[in-house]
Amino acid sequence: MENGLWELLGSKGLLKRHEFIRILVQCLYSLGFKKSASCLEHESNILYKSADFGLLEKQVLSGNWDSCLAVLDRIFDSSSDHTRDTALYLVLKQCLVEYLKQGDISLALNVLRKQAPLLGMGKEKIHRLACDIVYTKEMESGEADSFLVQDLRKNLLVELEKLIPLPIVIGERRLEHLVESAVLHQIDTCLYHNSWDAVSLYKDHCCGRDQIPSETVQILMAHKNEVWFVQFSNSGKYLATASSDCTAMIWKVLDDNKVELKHTLESHQNPVSFVSWSPDDTKLLTCGNAEVLKLWDVETGVLRHTFGNNNTGFTVSSCAWFPDSARLVCGSSDPERGIVMWDTDGNEIKAWRGTRIPKVVDLAVTPDGESMITVFSDKEIRILHLETKVERVISEEQPITSLSVSSDGKFFIVNLSSQEIHLWDLAGEWKQPLKFSGHRQSKYVIRSCFGGLDSSFIASGSEDSQVYLWNLKNAKPLEVLSGHSMTVNCVSWNPRNPRMLASASDDQTIRIWGPGKPNKPEKWLDNQKMQ
Amino acid sequence: MYTDMDPRQFEHSVVDDNDIHSIVMSYLLHNCFNETADSLASCTGVKQPSDDRDNIQRRKQIIHFVMEMKALKAVELTEQLAKDLLEKNKDLHFDLLRLHFVELVCARKCNEAIEFAKTILAPFGTVHKYVEKLEDAMALLAYDDPEKSPLFHLLSSEYRQQVADNLNRTILEHTNQPSYTPMERIIQHVTVVRQYLTEENGKDAFPPFSLKDSLKG
């Protein structure tokens, strides 16, 4: 005990050696290695159980209540009155239980009348003890079952342990907790972190490019003109694309993550710039800036309905579904059309029209169906709570081109033509948005999306034909993916596969991106610096 | 609102003697003063309903048992008199049982008291409104001298009187008799009316009703 008691460990000398050994002993005990634990106790001369606690344990288990109370008095000397009172209460209650079991009423009453006040127990607690005599089951006088009494004493000890202050008693599983804290902290600073697999303790945790989609694994060529929109279905099993060739296409994602064409949806007369999957993935909506809204059946690829009573002037720039997959809402680029809510049979349920409803740039419904977010031409975002009719307005300083909501419904991002992506919270607590930049956007509609584990990443298209990826913790891009030869208009991150991303480009192709090769050592260091 | 009759002209209002005798009689019967009632009847000739005799005798006994710290006997007689009365008046039943517990504690029969509490009183503890009352009673166990405890009022004769009165009224109600005497009602009325007049006209015109002053004449 003499040598090394006050010795310090760790490169900064912050860790006390005897504490370190004590939690090691605790860990060995909790893992079931009793022999090793007591061997370590012997070798190091450091016991897991402090002397005071050992003494208390002995008194409680043998029912020496007077000595027990004396030890408690010492232990709780500097504690708050409340913990001390609770400990006293528990011990006296056990005394009552034991005396009543023996049928010794006068001893029991003596505890209440003489001992409790002598120990300084408050009137309220004494009255509570009196009540316990009647209420508590254990106070049935019966055979003084010695096993039962021992069990009760052990329980008392467990309860007392919870009240006893450090360092006489230390919290459970202390070492495990400390290691886990360190790991969580490393994960926090890990920018590529994209899965909840268990981490290795052998090295400091730091994920690499192999965790996120960063290499082209497939190029889809089927559209005959610029591809303006791409989106995975909610199940991640399908992909929908829309093109200026006036078609939309439904693709299937196979088990090996290869994508193949399933349906080509032909009916539109004009370029299709937007699609929306119903929450149950059975229906698809397609529309365009100068084109009407159509509803398709996903399984068969058959056109179900064209909205707007065959009025070819009813152009819809964007649309969104409600969680019931039976109602949808669409916004028009023509201010006279306004915003309209429909059912899937084409019946109008509700409409917002008038001077307050200018041209709609983009529209979304939160996953819980409670709020509708609309981007109005061209700098205003309005969040309307559909039931309370409460509206929140955010005015951006630059034109907004697109809107995307996170899957947990807590955040949304907008792309601005000033080459910034702004992240806002739906709860409305933030005064300023989080800003992300690095990509190119000035002339065209460029879209972005959330993705990855817990939506901790953002992906965006760009006018420099690259795909940009950010970790939400960092305003500068994490990865820049090259491959396309022209402007990348839209991206979609597979909601069920955090390592799969799709991008749509003016070069008429769609690229599927998958896990990259692990970082080269130089790149590794770069990531660390970025913090 | 105001009639021709000035409220201060009450001295001109005529009171029938028979009415007064009835009021007194009803008071005596309510409180089971049967001997005094007999005396009044023979002096004034005012009638007393005869089928009430039995009821009065029983109520008298029950009340006495409560005051004499024999709550269980009171309960027994009440159940004989009116089978489901205590079932329908759980609060009263509880108060009576609790009195018995207090009696046992006072008599230093703590063992019995604890047994009684566990078997008979504890079940009431599942209902929220009885919990505090139960705790008050149990607390008596923590004192060598219950009279010196903060709950000493449970031992007082005032408290027993309160319970006894409550029991009396409940029995009368149960047997379809008025639970409040005309005397009480009259005093209540006068107090309220005078209060109203005072508010309308000020203290000098109509001072609030005081029984003590009225008794002085």
CA–CA distance, A139 with B108 (Å, rounded to integer): 20
The Cβ-side half-sphere exposure at A459, using a 13 Å CA radius, reads 30
Looking at the domain assignment, is residue B1 inside a domain? no
* Residue A314, amino acid: F
Task: Specify whether B29 is located in the same domain as B110.
Answer: no
Using one digit for the tens of pLDDT, what is the confidence trace for A281-300?
999 999 988 888 999 999 99
Looking at residue A134, its pLDDT comes to: 80
Distance CA B208, CA B187 (A): 12
The verdict on B33 and B82 lying in the same domain is: no
Query: Counting beta carbons within 10 angstroms of the beta carbon of residue A369, is it exposed (0 to 12), middle (13 to 18) or buried (19 or more)?
Result: middle
- Pairing outcome for strands A391-395 and A400-405: unpaired
Compute CA distances A243 → A226, A229, A287, B127, whole Å: 6, 7, 11, 71
Residues in contact with A433: Cβ distance below 8 Å, sequence separation at least 6, in sequence order: A422, A423, A424
Q: Which residues of chain B have pLDDT under 50?
A: 1-2
Min Cα separation B162/chain A (Å): 25
Q: Please name every residue paired with A260 in a beta bridge, in sequence order, or none if there are none.
A: A252
More confident residue, A137 or A101: A101
Regarding whether B184 and B115 lie in a shared domain, the answer is no
Q: Is B122 close to A131, i.e. CB distance below 8 A?
A: no
| Mean local confidence (pLDDT), A498-527 | 80
Q: What is the mean pLDDT of chain A?
A: 89
- A47 in reach of chain B (CB within 8 A): no
Chain B residues in contact with A112 (beta carbon < 8 A): 141-142
Here the ipTM equals 0.75
Of B111, B117, B144, the CB nearest to A113: B144
Please write the tens of the pLDDT for every residue from A242-277. Answer: 999 999 999 999 999 999 999 999 999 899 999 999
Is the same domain home to B67 and B36? Answer: no
What pLDDT score was predicted for residue A231? 96
Question: Which of B104, B108, B134, B138 to probe the A interface (max A CBs under 10 A)?
Answer: B138
Residues in chain A within 8 Å Cβ distance of B134 = 131, 134
Contact predicate A361/A377, CB 8 Å: yes
Residues B76 and B170 in one domain: yes
What's the domain count of chain B? 2
Q: For residue A214, count CB atoms less than 10 angstroms from its CB and return exposed for 0-12, middle for 13-18, buried for 19 or more.
A: buried
Q: What is the pLDDT of residue A2?
A: 47
Residue B46 lies in a domain: yes
**Are both B150 and B211 inside the same structural domain?**
no
Provide the pLDDT confidence category of residue A142 given band limits of 50, 70 and 90: low
Using one digit for the tens of pLDDT, what is the confidence trace for B105-142? 999 898 899 889 988 988 888 888 898 899 899 999 99
- Tell me how far apart the alpha carbons of residues B216 and A236 are, in angstroms, rounded to a whole number: 97
DSSP, res B109: -
Q: Do A130 and B122 touch (CB under 8 A)?
A: no
Are B61 and B148 members of one domain?
Answer: yes
B133 and B101 in a single domain? The answer is yes
Do residues B206 and B149 both lie within one domain?
A: no
- Specify burial of residue A277 (Cβ count, 10 A radius: 0-12, 13-18, 19+): buried
The answer to whether the predicted template modeling score (pTM) of the entire model surpasses 0.90 is no
Q: Which of B117, B142, B144 sits opposite A134 (nearest CB)?
A: B117
Cα of first residue to Cα of last residue in chain B, in angstroms, is 30
Cβ within 8 Å, pair B141-A116: no
| A462-478 b/e (C-beta count within 10 Å ≥ 16 → b) | bbebbbbbbbbbeeebb
For residue B2, tell me if it sits in a domain: no
Is the domain of B123 the same as that of B201? no
Q: Which domain holds residue B40?
A: 7-50+179-216
* pLDDT, position A464: 94
Secondary structure class of A217 (helix, strand, coil): strand
**Residues B115 and B46 occupy one common structural domain:** no
pLDDT of A525 over the 60 cut: no
Same domain? For B58 and B133 the reply is yes
Chain A: nearest CA to B102, how far in angstroms?
A: 14
Which structure tokens are listed for A495? 């909601």
- A106 contact partners, CB below 8 Å, separation of at least 6: none
**In the predicted model, is pLDDT for residue A61 greater than 50?**
yes
* Higher pLDDT, residue A102 or A175: A175
Say whether pLDDT at A53 is over 80. Answer: yes
Integer Cα distance of B142 and A111 in angstroms: 9
Which A residues in the span 103-162 are in contact with B, Cβ-Cβ below 8 Å? Answer: 105, 109, 112-113, 116, 123, 126-131, 133-135
Closest approach of B68 to chain A, Cα-based (Å): 26
Q: Which two tokens stand for residue A110?
A: 């003596």
